[in-house]
Structure 1
Amino acid sequence: MRNPIIPIALLFAIWSLGARAAAGPSPWGVAAAGSWGTIWTSSPLVKRMQDTPAPNNPAKGVRLYAAGNEYEPFQLILTPKKPLSNIKIVPHTLVGPKSAKIEVWNITVKNVEYVNCTEPTSEDVKPGLYPDPLPDHTPFPAQPGRNSAVWVTVYVARNIPAGDYRGTIDVIGGGIGKVAVPLSVHVWNFTLPSVSRLRTAYGNSMSWPFIYNNATTLEQRRKVVDLYNLNFWKHRVSPYAPYWGYDIGVTAQDGTVKLDFSDFDVAIAKYFPWFNSFKLPRFGMNDNVGFEGGDAERMKIDYMRLVAEHLVDKGVLNKGYNYITDEPEEKDYDAVVEAAKLVRMADQRIKILLTEHIADKLIGSVDIWVPIGPEYNEQQAKARQAKGEQVWWYLCCGPHHPWPNYFIDYPAIDLRMWHWMTWRYGLDGILYWDTCYWQDNPWQKPMSQPDHRKWNWGNGDGHLLYPATRTPSKTFIAKGPVDSIRWETIRDGIEDWDYFRILKDRIDAAPASKRNSTEYKPAQDALARVNGCIRSFTDYCKDPAEAESIRFAVAKAIEGIK
């Protein structure tokens, strides 16, 4: 007996007619319903809880918009009325202009899992099960009255013809049969860069992945590093140290420093083209590179000089930064200034990064200022940028709401708006202290704490990724990390920033006489809407539909400038 459902064929036909032009983001809603329950679609900007009610409005399938070389996600949610078994989500190739295709292998499906946040990050959020881990899709049972969600991402390849691509994604299982949900992607006529111009520096403490993957040999660890670097690249994020396991060999004899770059050069060739920044190895002021005695300071200068010269020869020093120290107190400023002098003696081209607000005493000793969000001062930042310095910023265990942050129990749109804020205030980059700080098993305990356990940092603080296994493996496994909703949202935010950058560049490339013309008004208006969405650091767009509408307007404006 066939299940009574909303006629998908009819929906598909109506929807296909309306999908021939980029008319605007279609509403999310119910894609199919029957005696077995409801299948509904959702924006990735909303975290759907297990008890979130299904919407009442129908949706004409899923309609996405993406540039070339972009990843575009959505959520597909099943809310059963009765127990269902062996639920599988099966995407199909999407066909577009002149039989061009978005191949099925460019459509990934991941299960949405939940972690139990028993202690809220801040008083304004509730404890409970929050969606975050995104393991690879495997068939699952679905229980009545409880949402079962999947996260679907469509990757649009570079240089694919612009236009509309259509197909279906099937929901198959015991008690439901097969339901085909229409899926459409409108591809814009521009392409995103593979390496974003928004600089990023995210911690990648590989010691924890090595434990969970049981990677004990150098060969095994390099394989894990390879998989993690690939994941970072696909998410447009630069890790602190993409060169884990490819150390620079250092020897010192009679005060002469000699370096062996044979391993490090392998990492340069393999990984550095993927990223726009990296931490210069062992340059920090508290690392003496193993040198001892009264000549240690001079040898550290020689080490930094030799590394810098080699990286200049390789054409990558401009991506490097000397993370000289972390969050110094004012009493430590003199030591920072003295350490910076040694760096300048080694090579004037080395850029010094400091996670601290702009302070008069430190001017001249810092090239990349990275204040925590609430300590960002726009007037000071613009003044330093006018001098050729960069200003990034960061969040960590604070601030809490009403600021956005990376916490599991904060809304998804908050983290997306963090990147819009970065654009709005003209910052050059974003830093985050770690992605896999797994002091506790993140599958079991999402709350992060310092070593002494005297206070909480926040749910998910320092772990944006999950281990490949639920507990440390007893044998080596060659797997990368499990993504999270927050990690996916970071990529979306970076892609947003690239949209804004592309549009601004096209406006700036026009003759001054044309920039305020009727032809360029939609472009100027679109960027004004982006900035208008960020009213302050604590007052920003919370409505997913508004954010999606603005992003659509930006893309249309890019297409409109010839």
Structure 2
Amino acid sequence: MRRLPLLLLALLSGCGPLHTEIMLLRVPAFLLGSADTMEKVFRDEPWTRGPADKLTIEAARNETEGIQLVVVTGGHDVRRVTVEASDLRCGRSIIPKARITWNVVGYVRTEKPAYKVPREGWWPDPLLPAALFDVRAGEVQPVWLSVRVPDHAPPGLYRGKVTVRAEGQPRRSLPLEVRVWDFAIPRQQHLETCFLLRPDELQRFYGLKDVPVEMYEAWMDFCLDRRICPALYDWSHLDRDLERLVARQLDRGGACFGLAYAWPKKGTPEERAKHNEPQIAAIRKLYDRVKARGWLPRAYVYCHDEIGKEHYDIAHELYAALKKEMPGLRLMQTFYKDNPIPALDDVLDIWAPVTGRYRKEEMQAQQAKGDEVWWYVCCGPGKPYANLMIEWPGLDHRILLWQTWKLGVTGFLYWSLNCWRDNYKADPRWPEGAWDPATFVNQQGGRHHGDGQLLYPGPGGQPLSSVRLENFRDGIEDYETLWLLRDAVAKLKKAGGHDVLVAEAEKALALDDAVVKDLTHFTPDPQALRAARSALASLIERATKAVAAAK
């Protein structure tokens, strides 16, 4: 017997040799536990919290919410494990089992991080396809369960079960309960997002001469299902496929799309003109097509990445030419140092600082003038800021969107979804071989794990999600919940006579400092975040009923 989890050892404590032998015959080969999706479960750490009695989820209509089912082994390997869910029923209403999916939580190895971490080694992140899996003796294996609630599901408590089978073992089941709230997450996104989906990485990893547009669309759809908008300007055939891709993104609820990337270049006036004029002409062609379809308000141009003061003068020259040539086209600027506002205030529409460079008074002054403010994370900032690195807590990936709401920011940018670096060179290729999660290594050899790498390459050219991306999507759905409550408050005010409920809802919309105060102070407790989300949901239900009663 290798190593029993503490739970199973407890069953044997106080027993003599004969009793221990008898009890070992009765101890199950595996138990079923549960963990919040904001928890990161390590397969080599003892499972101490005991078996789960049921799995519980709360969600709105048109929302995807999950929980982790944890297979806990004893003294023997458990082989050929599979998971199956039943239909969920609430009276005569059904959430079909086809809307319940599961993925095996995979692990990637981290080493020499550039920042302080609680541990090095194997970290949970990729969500692998549903398939038979083995669990070694003395280890645990989380399974990511996702329930996609239909947009027509009546509210109530839906009940079913999840069954786990393993070779040579009795099957085990847990009740699954899903509380469906009486409102739907909007299909139309209200948070603008700019996430780079790189076709060159698809091309390299899958050994393609060119990425078929149908493949790119499948990856786009995967992102849009997670309520994020790929920045289309990186598509190598955008001139050919513009209308097709933009229509697809907007039809699936996308709030915006990146039309082009504009970058200035130093040199003589003649050299700059030679560089700028083709850019302006190419963007103008796309601009005319977008404007003709009525899409211009949703379009933006991504300007010189993370600009510094050494480029302000030449950037202003290019941006001013773009604004003159294409009225109404939004220009978006990222930055992490200096202050570009004095130099570029008259030519930019969207300011996007890294969260560590965000200055509340500075950015709110720009918003008061009519500009938009987005922000982003990348290889920084480090702790105590939230980020999307693999070693950050799952709650941090989700709290980013609560911070976005709290500070009135209206867009979120991320530099890459699929920066896979040299993983395409591995032999054997992942997932049979090892995956290197480091996308950036500093001069001291410190590695940033998972930066720019929220998607993994699945079999047959299919995308695979990650623990981080699923938590980020949950955060976006939290953001949409807040948007719904704000909309309900506006309707309550219009109806009149609901001052107490309005005051309660407005207090909730401000977000309690105990949950999230600012960019560096927020709760570390997933249950505190869930309680806050449940309170928002209850207020939406109450407000909706009050508005309906007033009609």
Bin of the TM-score, shorter chain as denominator length: 0.7 to 0.9
Q: CA deviation at 1:37?
A: 3.2
Kindly report which structure 2 residues correspond to 1:38-49, keeping only aligned pairs within 5 A, or say none. Answer: 38-49=31-42
CA distance in 2, matches of 1:524, 1:57: 40
Per the alignment, residue 222 of structure 2 pairs with 231
| Match 1:500 to one of 468, 482, 506 | 482
> Which is further off, 199-208 or 270-279?
270-279
1:197-216 matched pairs, under 5 angstroms: 197-216=190-209
- Deviation, 1:301, is 3.7
How far residue 411 of structure 1 moved from its aligned partner, in angstroms, is: 0.8
Q: Deviations over 1:107-127 (max 9, x none)?
A: 111001111112234124321
Calculate the TM-score normalised by the size of structure 1: 0.84
Provide the C-alpha distance between the structure 1 equivalents of 2:273 and 2:122, rounded to a whole number of angstroms. 57
**Residues 400-435 of structure 1: per-residue CA shift (max 9 Å, x gap):** 111111111111111111111111111011111111
The share of aligned pairs that are identical, in percent, is: 27
After superposition, the C-alpha distances for 1:213-248 in whole angstroms (9 at most, x for unaligned) are 23324xx52232022111101110111117725331
Q: State the alpha-carbon separation in 2 of the partners of residues 39 and 294 from structure 1.
A: 66
| Equivalence for 1:246 | 237
Aligned to 1:467: 457
CA distance in 1, matches of 2:99, 2:307: 45
Whole-angstrom CA distance in 2 between matches of 1:454 and 1:348? 46
Deviation of 1:64 after TM superposition, in Å, equals 0.9
Instruction: Kindly indicate whether residue 159 of structure 2 is the aligned counterpart of residue 159 of structure 1.
Output: no
Where does residue 409 of structure 2 map in the other structure? 427
Matched, 1:313 2:297: no
Q: Which amino acid aligns with 2:193?
A: T
Aligned residue runs from structure 1 range 15-414, under 5 A: 34-56=27-49, 59-81=52-74, 82-97=76-91, 99-217=92-210, 221-241=212-232, 244-248=235-239, 263-274=241-252, 275-285=254-264, 297-298=276-277, 300-356=279-335, 357=339, 359-414=341-396
Contact 1:222 1:245 in 2 (8 A): no
Deviation at 1:509, TM superposition (A): 2.8
Give the counterpart of 2:435 among 430, 444, 447.
Answer: 444
Q: What is the SS of the residue equivalent to 1:281? A: strand
Q: Is the 8 A contact 2:35 2:67 kept in 1?
A: yes
Q: 1 CA distance for matches of 2:169 and 2:509?
A: 45
User: Aligned partners of 1:117, 1:182: CA distance in 2, in Å?
Assistant: 35
Distance 1:324 1:200, change over 3 A: same
Match of 1:417 in 2: 399
Aligned 8 A contact 2:64 2:146 in 1: yes
SS in 2 for 1:533: coil
> Counterparts of 2:28 and 2:276 in 1: how far apart (Å)?
75
C-alpha separation in 2, matches of 1:515 and 1:433: 47
Task: Output the CA distance in 2 between the equivalents of 1:525 and 1:455.
Answer: 47
What's the TM-score, normalizing by structure 2?
0.85
CA 1:533 to 1:209, structure 2 compared with 1: closer, same or farther past 3 Å?
same
- The equivalent of 1:482 in structure 2 is 464
In angstroms, what is the RMSD of aligned CA positions? 2.6
Question: How far did 1:544 drift?
Answer: 0.9
Q: Give SS of 2:485's match.
A: helix
Q: Residue 21 of structure 1 aligns with which residue?
A: none
**In the alignment, is the contact (CA less than 8 A) between 2:112 and 2:446 conserved in 1?**
no
Asked if structure 2 preserves the Cα contact closer than 8 Å seen for 1:199 and 1:277, the reply is yes
Shift of 1:504: 1.5
| Counterpart amino acid of residue 240 in structure 1 | A
Distance 1:438 1:515 in 2: 56
Contact 2:58 2:178 in 1 (8 A): yes
Q: How many residues align?
A: 503
1:309 positional shift: 2.5
Cα distance change of structure 1 residues 361 and 147 upon mapping to structure 2, 3 Å threshold? same
Q: Which amino acid is 2:422 matched to?
A: D
Letter in 1 for 2:229: S
The 2-side partners of 1:513 and 1:234 are apart by 35
2:523 — aligned with what? 541
Q: 1:50 to 1:263 in 2, by over 3 A?
A: closer
Instruction: Give the drift of 1:522.
Output: 4.2
Native 8 Å contact 1:286 1:325 kept in 2: no
More helix by share: 2
Could you tell me which runs of 5 or more consecutive residues in structure 1 were left unpaired when the two chains were aligned: 1-32, 249-261, 470-476
